[in-house]
């Protein structure tokens, strides 16, 4: 049954807040960083290099969704922590997702990938973080990480932030999810990959 007071329902207010944040984030993400990310992925696709996506917690779930779409497009993609993950080597690509850029598991994994000669891309709110300092290239994704406070200038002054409606890392995770879906569309366009082609690689045995 539809609520008679939809506009004031807490769940819908939160949805609108998050959606508005993502729209504002799309206006400030650096297009040069986007192009660099897309070009590095296209290079990996053409060379059939491995793409290892890594993230912890909810950021890891966002990474899994992106890795799945890469697989649908024909990329040689894997997710850190899964049972079947080959060794990553020189010329491969590691995409590390961490709002704070300080998640130790992801920082250590990115460092290990860098040491064997893989290129590392960091998706984080803090380019000057330990993860950002390791990465070959950083995409700054606006958001509030688990360790952020309301006095974060970028989130408060430029994008606006109402803490109770989006707890912990919600804004970073949701923004990153939609950003990566946008990257998928860009790759489909540049690589001339159709939805039918992606569907042919989609799992046909599902639970």
Helix (H, G, I), strand (E, B) or coil at 74: coil
Query: What are the tokens at 3?
Result: 């609520």
HSE-CB for 160 with a 13 A CA cutoff: 10
Looking at residue 129, its pLDDT comes to: 95
Q: What is the pTM of this model?
A: 0.85
Q: Which structural domains are found in the chain, ordered by start? A: 29-189 (3.40.50.10490)
Looking at residue 164, its pLDDT comes to: 52
Helix (H, G, I), strand (E, B) or coil at 116: coil
Closest CA to 20 of 148, 142, 139, 126: 142
Residue 206 — very low, low, confident or very high, per pLDDT cuts 50/70/90?
low
**What does pLDDT average to over the chain?**
86
Range with lowest mean pLDDT among 105-114, 132-141, 196-205: 196-205
Looking at residue 53, its pLDDT comes to: 98
Residue positions annotated with a catalytic role: 173
Residue 153 — very low, low, confident or very high, per pLDDT cuts 50/70/90?
very low
User: Tens digits of per-residue pLDDT, 33-59?
Assistant: 999 999 999 999 999 999 999 999 999
Residue 18 — very low, low, confident or very high, per pLDDT cuts 50/70/90?
confident
Closest CA to 41 of 79, 71, 86: 71
């Amino acid at each position: 049954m539809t609520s008679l007071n939809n506009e004031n329902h807490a769940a819908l207010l939160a949805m609108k807040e998050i959606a508005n944040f993502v729209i504002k984030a799309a206006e400030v993400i650096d297009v040069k960083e986007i192009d660099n990310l897309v070009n590095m992925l296209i290079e990996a696709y053409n060379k059939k290099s491995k793409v290892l996506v890594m993230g912890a917690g909810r950021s890891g779930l966002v990474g899994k969704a992106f890795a799945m779409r890469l697989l649908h497009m024909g990329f040689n993609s894997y997710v850190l922590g899964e049972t079947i993950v080959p060794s990553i080597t020189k010329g491969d690509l590691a995409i590390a997702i961490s709002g704070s850029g300080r998640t130790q598991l992801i920082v250590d994994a990115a460092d290990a990938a860098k040491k064997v000669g893989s290129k590392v891309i960091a998706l984080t709110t803090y380019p000057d973080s330990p993860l950002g300092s390791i990465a070959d290239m950083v995409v700054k994704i606006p958001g509030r990480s688990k360790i952020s406070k309301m006095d974060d200038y970028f989130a408060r002054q430029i994008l606006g932030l109402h803490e109770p409606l989006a707890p912990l890392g919600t804004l970073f995770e949701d923004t990153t999810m939609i950003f990566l879906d946008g990257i998928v569309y860009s790759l489909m366009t540049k690589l001339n990959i159709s939805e039918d082609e992606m569907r042919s690689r989609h799992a046909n045995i599902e639970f």
